[in-house]
Amino acid sequence: MSDNTQYTEDNIRSLDWKEHIRMRPGMYIGKLGDGSSADDGIYILLKEVIDNCIDEFVMGAGKTIEIVIRDNTVNVRDYGRGIPLGKVVDVVSKMNTGGKYDSRAFKKSVGLNGVGTKAVNALSSFFKVESSRESKLKIAEFHQGNLVAETGPEDTSKRKGTKVSFTPDEIIFKNYKYRNEYVERMLKNYVYLNPGLTIVYNGEKFHSANGLKDLLEDNNSMEDMAYPIIHLKGDDIEIALTHSKTQYSEEYHSFVNGQNTTQGGTHQSAFREAIVRTVRDFYGKNYDPSDIRKSIISAIAIKVMEPVFESQTKTKLGSTDMGGDLPTVRTYVNDFVGKHLDNYLHKNPETAEKLQRKIMQAERERKELSGIRKLAKDRAKKASLHNKKLRDCRVHLADSKNSRCLESTLFITEGDSASGSITKSRDVNTQAVFSLRGKPLNSYGMSKKIVYENEEFNLLQAALNIEDSMEDLRYNKIVIATDADVDGMHIRLLLITFFLQFFPELIKENHLYILQTPLFRVRNKKETIYCYSPEEKAQAIDKLSGKPEITRFKGLGEISPDEFKHFIGEDIRLEPVMLDKAMSIENLLEFYMGKNTPNRQEFIINNLKVEVDLVEENQI
């Protein structure tokens, strides 16, 4: 069959830098999102700007960074050297332009490709850069990457440094908002990794005196630690570790040149390997690696010359070499841990004894569970072949061992009608559905044994692939999708309890969410408005005037697949499940599932979007 489509020089066009970034933002900042996830694009924009300030601090220029976020406009001010005044416009608007190509100036920089601030500029409706240097001030202002105003250099009394202001473009980032919890976590990581640095965010100061030791203390209850944190530092490496008394799986915080590598990489793999080797050598026993690492809570930060990451968002290190005359990453980490952790254990026999007791406890528990685990795995394999509890997405169907995709989501829902609606509405490429059969078991206070003996928990664990390590997690987002009624809230609590009890890292690392679906549909012949609260319903009625048709969605199964696709597509509303740092996991579990029904009811009413008239005394 002939093709009459014309293909001439007129069909070929070249995009300029800002057009390409705006057309393909994922190539530069990963996914977009609305700010409900810590790795959404608006936080990457913020990070790219802060990274430049950090590089100035690392070079010894400026000890304070000031950040203000109001009405989705971000202001970041450092007191570094300032951008050379003749290059202010080029640095933020000309691709492959920047000081980081000169390794003499930025040996172990966070970013090396000269793209960061250009991406921020192109993806912002408002972008302004001010550079104060040598008593002169240069200002340039942009709209969607286009220069709209330029002043200076002119005399100034301002302290030297750089200020960047920007507003993410609502055309690119729809219905977005910055969440303080995510911003604060990012800033805390910066100060943990940069002793002496102070970051002031909306008036609150962040500073760390003890680096990664502070990170572990801030993220975990001291009462839950099996022994005092082991904290070791070298020229280009820092580690901190302890074991949890109650947590089952492994927890790692890893960083390269100040970048939080949430998906690990060569340095984290080497760290896990080095801990096992050192512990075996120290005790002279061939302990199973899983027993040594079970319940570990740890952090590692290294500095690498010109690191290679596996994506623009730098979440996984791919480099095998440290750079220069240094050995491989694996050798460097193994040598450091082998020497310094061994020395520490020799000098601190009480800690060494507690660590060994923890390993031996893990060994006993593993042997007790070994038979049950084998039966459970066989059961999970057979179940996956013969039922439809898990309707997987194509990124995993193509390769069952496919590593976690940043866009992948697993919806956990209850009931045939709800799971049917989501299954028909989902994006089959990246969205999977796991269907519960009724309410899950209350796992509060139970041991890991129940995960293997209970079919629902066993199959859910197998679907997520999290039995041995969070590194194997198959989905970036786990979304609880239940009805907005008392039963739905109870299922949410039971699932949150399960994850808190056995896999708290899923919550700590921001993988668990609640799906928000509309409570009402208000429509007339011309327009349909979906409302997520009684207040939104009232506003919709006023807007449509007259007597619009009002529908109350009592359950997910009542929403047709054609409508449901709007609520799990581009306009999806997710509420992240976050841990209250002031409360230990043990206390949280007691709060969720203990004998404090009135307090829990009040919490649900205030925090889980349940209408007050649905919650009656003693129903939950």
301 and 345 co-located in one domain:
yes
Summarize the confidence of residues 261-281 as an average pLDDT: 91
In-domain check, residue 58: yes
Question: Residue 618: what pLDDT?
Answer: 35
CATH code assigned at 238: 3.30.230.10
Ramachandran angles phi, psi of 37, nearest 5°? -115, 145
CB neighbour list of residue 52: distance below 8 Å, 6 or more residues apart: 78, 111, 116, 117, 162, 164
Distance between CA atoms of residues 43 and 63, nearest Å:
22
pLDDT of residue 306: 74
Q: What is the CATH number of the domain that holds 182?
A: 3.30.565.10
Does 234 share its domain with 324?
yes
Residues 48 and 187 in one domain: yes
Tokens of 528: 């349909």
282 and 197 in one domain?
Answer: no
Task: Compute how many other C-beta atoms are within 10 angstroms of the C-beta atom of residue 155.
Answer: 8
From 179, 206, 233, the end of a domain falls on: 206
What is residue 371's predicted lDDT score, i.e. its pLDDT? Answer: 75
Name every residue whose Cβ is closer than 8 Å to that of residue 565 and which is 6 or more positions away in sequence: 425, 426
Residue 480: predicted pLDDT: 93
Q: What are phi and psi of 212, to 5 degrees?
A: -65, -25
pLDDT (mean) for 421-435: 89
**Which of the given ranges, 314-323, 324-333, 495-504, has the highest pLDDT on average?**
495-504
pLDDT over threshold 80, residue 73: yes
Residues 349-397: pLDDT tens digits?
Answer: 999 999 999 999 999 988 888 777 777 777 666 655 445 688 888 876 5
Distances (CA, A) of 1 to 4, 7, 281: 10, 17, 71
pLDDT digits (tens, 9 = 90+) for 105-145: 455 555 544 468 899 999 999 999 999 998 999 999 999 98
Q: How far apart are CA 313 and CA 44, in angstroms?
A: 7
C-alpha closest to that of 150 among 141, 159, 160: 141
In contact, 492 and 480? CB cutoff 8 Å: yes
- Considering the domain architecture, whether residues 606 and 576 belong to the same structural domain is answered as yes
Structure confidence at residue 42 (pLDDT): 93
Q: State whether 187 and 59 are in the same domain.
A: yes
The pLDDT tens digits for 563-610 are 888 888 877 888 888 876 545 566 666 666 665 556 655 655 454 443
200 and 220 part of one domain: no
Q: Which residues touch 152 (CB under 8 Å, ≥6 apart)?
A: 85, 136, 137, 138, 139
Same domain for 61 and 162?
Answer: yes
In sequence order, the β-bridge partners of residue 443 are: none
Position 10 scores a pLDDT of 57
Least confident of 286-295, 549-558, 586-595: 586-595
Confidence of residue 487 (pLDDT cuts 50, 70, 90): confident
Domain assignment present for 11:
no
**Average pLDDT rounded to a whole number, residues 226-246:** 93
Classify residue 479: in a domain, yes or no. Answer: yes
- 409 shares a domain with 361: no
Percent of the chain with pLDDT over 90: 34
For residue 382, report the phi and psi dihedrals to the nearest 5 degrees.
-65, -40
Tell me which H or E stretch contains 298: strand 296-302
Measured at the alpha carbon of residue 565, what is the angle toward residues 560 and 566, in degrees to the nearest 5? Answer: 105
Q: Do the domain assignments include residue 146?
A: yes
Please report which confidence band the pLDDT of residue 345 belongs to, taking 50, 70 and 90 as the band edges. Answer: very high
Claim to verify: residue 144 and residue 107 sit in the same structural domain? yes
> What is the residue-averaged pLDDT of the chain?
82
Strand order in the sheet with 230-233: 230-233, 237-243, 296-302, 251-256, 259-260
- State residue 301's pLDDT score: 94
DSSP 441: P
DSSP string, 184-237: HHHHHHHHHHSTT-EEEETTEEE--SSTHHHHHHHHS-GGGBSSPPEEEE-SSE
Residue that is last in its domain, among 167, 191, 206? 206
pLDDT at 336 over 80: yes
Which tens digit of pLDDT belongs to each residue from 143-163? 998 999 988 789 889 999 999
Pair 348, 467 in one domain? no
Does the pLDDT of residue 506 top 60, yes or no? Answer: yes
Of the candidates 176, 58, 150, 145, the residue with the CA atom closest to the CA atom of residue 106: 58
498 by Cβ neighbours in 10 Å (0-12 / 13-18 / 19+) ranks as buried
First-to-last alpha carbon distance for the chain, in angstroms, is 66
Give the count of domains, the chain.
3
Query: Which of the listed residues 365, 395, 429 is the one where a domain comes to its end?
Result: 365
Does any domain span residue 374?
no
Task: Give the pLDDT confidence score for residue 324 in this predicted structure.
Answer: 63
Confidence of residue 200 (pLDDT cuts 50, 70, 90): very high
Residue 2 is assigned to a structural domain of this protein: no
Confirm if 442 and 593 have CB atoms less than 8 A apart.
Answer: yes
Residue 620 domain-assigned?
Answer: no
608 falls within a domain: yes
What is the CATH classification number for the domain harbouring 582? Answer: 3.40.50.670
If asked whether residues 447 and 493 sit together in one domain, one would say yes
Q: What is the mean pLDDT of residues 77-103?
A: 77
pLDDT at residue 13 is higher than 90: no
- Asked whether 523 and 548 are in contact (CB, 8 A), the reply is yes
Average pLDDT, stretch 325-337?
A: 86
Report pLDDT for 617. Answer: 33
In this prediction, residue 494 has a pLDDT band, given cuts at 50, 70 and 90, of: confident
Q: How confident is the model at residue 271 (pLDDT cuts 50, 70, 90)?
A: very high
Separation CA 291–CA 288 (nearest Å)? 5
pLDDT for position 400: 47
Per-residue model confidence (pLDDT) at position 608: 44
The answer to whether the CB of 459 falls within 8 A of the CB of 435 is no
The range of the structural domain enclosing residue 575 comes to 387-517+553-614
pLDDT of residue 619: 38
